[in-house]
């Protein structure tokens, strides 16, 4: 009897060990094969980097490349002592933004006082076909939670399944052919590519020819983006968070007056502030010869500094966002980040003077 019991125990132990071994090896392989986004598509790290932040933020900016390239979180701090973070990602659609806001509120120990949402993606009613890579840049970095599941439900393409978002190994297994030193170097943690969501580019490509806008038959925003904009407004209201709608100033792609009117109308109906920065370019001091790194599509770091200075004034003066510079621990954290910022700018400027272009994007 006791022999049989001990055999059973031994069998159970062996099974448990086998299961743990399986899980361990699976996890190692998954981590190894996942893209590290260290030398290409660096933006793939943005969503996940949010969870590394240990500080509470008073302001959260949400949206596509028009936020993570165009607003300097460091300048919010330097000029106003405002703590901020950007939850931005490439081709972030409005439903992505909504669930990123939910996710942010779920993880924040202290809710932000203001959320700033860039409305460029309102023009997109559905994801483009073949846009799965962008879906992944938006969702892969999100921590597993019911919010992530709902985000997947709202955004997945026909042939996508949630399991591949939970176990990306099944998606990226082919990467074994391209494993390189980066996969080892960044095995434990992906490289840091932003300063609280702000990606630093200090090179300049002046704006030249701007394409003519391609006219449309219908300028009405689709039901889906409107639905999620309303949900975002509701979520902010329920949490007593101020919501500001913005349109970043870019020369291209074209932002039509018809779209602008709809946003202005929505903002008025919901008692929200809407700022189309394009109307304030001179006031902000933007110069399309100096402040863009890709001919007017995105601002460079110096343009992003000006944008933060302008928006920071609105946040401080109209929303009473506090100046945290007198808080020792917060100041210590942000001052370190500020040093990292200037160090990277210095390296990039040196590269520009030596080679004419920048190759350093990672935060050390």
Partner 1 sequence: MKKYILLTLLIMLATVIFTACNSEPDNIPDSGNPIHEAENTPPVSDNNTADNSPGDNNGLEAPSDGQTDAGNEDPAGPDVFFLVISGVEINLDENINNIIDQLGEPIVPVFEVQSCAFDGMDRIFRYPGAELYTYPSGDDDFIHTIAFYDDTIRTPEGGVRLGSKVQSVFDTYGEDYELESGMYKFKRSDTLLEFLVEDEMVIGITYRLDIEIQIG
Which residues form the interface with partner 1 (CB under 8 A)?
Answer: 14-15, 17-19, 21-22, 25-26, 29, 35, 40-41, 43-44, 64-66, 90-92, 120-121, 124, 127-134, 136-137, 159, 169-175, 205, 208-212, 214-218, 252-253, 293-295, 297
Q: CB-wise, 239 or 276, nearer to partner 1? A: 276
Q: What are the φ/ψ torsions at residue 166 (nearest 5 degrees)?
A: -80, -40
Shortest Å, Cβ 39 to partner 1: 10
Nearer to partner 1, 36 or 148 (CB): 36
Q: How far is the CB of 169 from partner 1 (least distance, A)?
A: 8
Q: Is the Cβ–Cβ distance between 263 and 274 less than 8 Å?
A: yes
Q: What would the two tokens of residue 134 be?
A: 């962008």
At 121 the three-state DSSP class reads helix
Q: Which is nearer to partner 1, 163 or 268 (CB)?
A: 163
**Which C-beta is closer to partner 1: that of 35 or that of 191?**
35
Residue 255 has a CB neighbour count (10 Å cut-off) of 22
When the beta carbons of 208 and 313 are compared against partner 1, the nearer one is: 208
Residues 6+ apart with CB under 8 A from 308: 71, 72, 73, 74, 75, 76, 79
Q: Which residues contact 212 (CB under 8 A, 6 or more apart)?
A: none
The helix (run of H) or strand (run of E) holding residue 34 is: none
129's tokens: 């076909």
Q: Look-up: residue for tokens 């330097």?
A: 78
Cis ω on the peptide bond leading into residue 253 (within 30° of 0)?
yes
Q: Closest distance between partner 1 and the C-beta of residue 255, in Å? A: 11
In the complex, what is the shortest distance from the CB of residue 20 to partner 1, in angstroms, rounded to a whole number?
Answer: 9
Nearer to partner 1, 84 or 118 (CB): 118
Q: How far is the CB of 17 from partner 1 (least distance, A)?
A: 7
Alpha carbon distance 22, 25 (integer Å): 5
* Residue of 55, 142, 54, 33 lying closest to 92 (CA atoms): 142
The answer to whether residues 303 and 348 touch, using CB atoms and an 8 Å cutoff, is: no
CA angle 218, 226, 141 (to 5 degrees): 115
Minimum distance, C-beta of residue 320 to partner 1, in the bound complex (Å): 31
Output 166 or 268, the one with its CB closest to partner 1: 166
Task: Give the nearest distance from C-beta 214 to partner 1 in angstroms.
Answer: 5
Q: What is the DSSP letter of 292?
A: B
* Cβ nearer to partner 1, comparing 12 with 268: 12
Nearer residue to partner 1 within complex by CB, 273 or 295: 295
List the one residue out of 167, 201, 234 whose CA is nearest residue 361.
Answer: 201
Phi/psi of residue 147, each to 5°? -65, -45
Please report how close the Cβ of residue 125 comes to partner 1 at its closest, in angstroms: 10
Q: Least distance to partner 1 from the beta carbon of 240, Å?
A: 30
């Amino acid at each position: 009897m006791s022999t049989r019991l001990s055999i059973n125990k031994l069998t159970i132990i062996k099974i448990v060990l086998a299961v743990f071994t399986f899980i361990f090896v699976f996890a190692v392989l998954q981590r190894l094969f996942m893209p590290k986004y260290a030398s290409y598509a660096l933006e793939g790290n943005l969503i996940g980097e949010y969870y590394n932040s240990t500080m509470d933020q008073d302001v959260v900016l949400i949206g596509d490349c028009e936020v993570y390239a165009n607003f300097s979180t460091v300048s919010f701090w330097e000029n106003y002592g405002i703590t901020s973070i950007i939850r931005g990602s490439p081709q972030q659609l409005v439903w992505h933004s909504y669930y990123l806001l939910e996710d942010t509120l779920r993880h924040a120990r202290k809710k932000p006082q203001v959320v700033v949402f860039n409305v460029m993606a309102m023009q997109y009613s559905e994801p483009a076909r073949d846009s799965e890579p962008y879906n992944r840049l938006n969702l892969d970095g999100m921590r597993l939670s019911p919010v992530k599941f709902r985000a997947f439900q709202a955004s997945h393409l026909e042939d996508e399944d949630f399991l591949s978002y939970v176990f990306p190994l099944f998606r990226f297994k082919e990467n074994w052919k391209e494993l390189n030193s980066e996969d080892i170097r960044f095995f434990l943690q992906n490289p840091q590519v932003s300063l609280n969501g702000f990606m630093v580019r200090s090179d300049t490509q002046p704006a030249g020819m701007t394409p003519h806008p391609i006219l449309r038959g219908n300028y009405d925003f689709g039901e889906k983006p409107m639905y999620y904009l309303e949900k975002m407004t509701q979520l902010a209201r329920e949490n007593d968070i101020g919501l500001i709608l913005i349109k970043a100033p870019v020369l291209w792609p074209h932002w039509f007056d018809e779209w602008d009117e709809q946003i202005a109308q929505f903002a008025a109906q919901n008692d929200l502030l809407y700022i189309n920065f394009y109307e304030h370019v001179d006031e902000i001091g933007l110069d399309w010869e100096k402040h863009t790194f890709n001919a007017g599509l995105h601002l460079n770091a110096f343009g992003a500094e000006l944008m933060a200075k302008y928006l920071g004034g609105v946040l401080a003066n109209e929303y009473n966002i506090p100046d945290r510079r007198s808080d020792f621990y917060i100041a210590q954290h942000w001052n370190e980040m500020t040093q990292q910022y200037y160090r990277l700018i210095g390296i990039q400027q040196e590269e520009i003077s030596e080679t004419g272009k920048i190759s350093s994007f990672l935060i050390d």
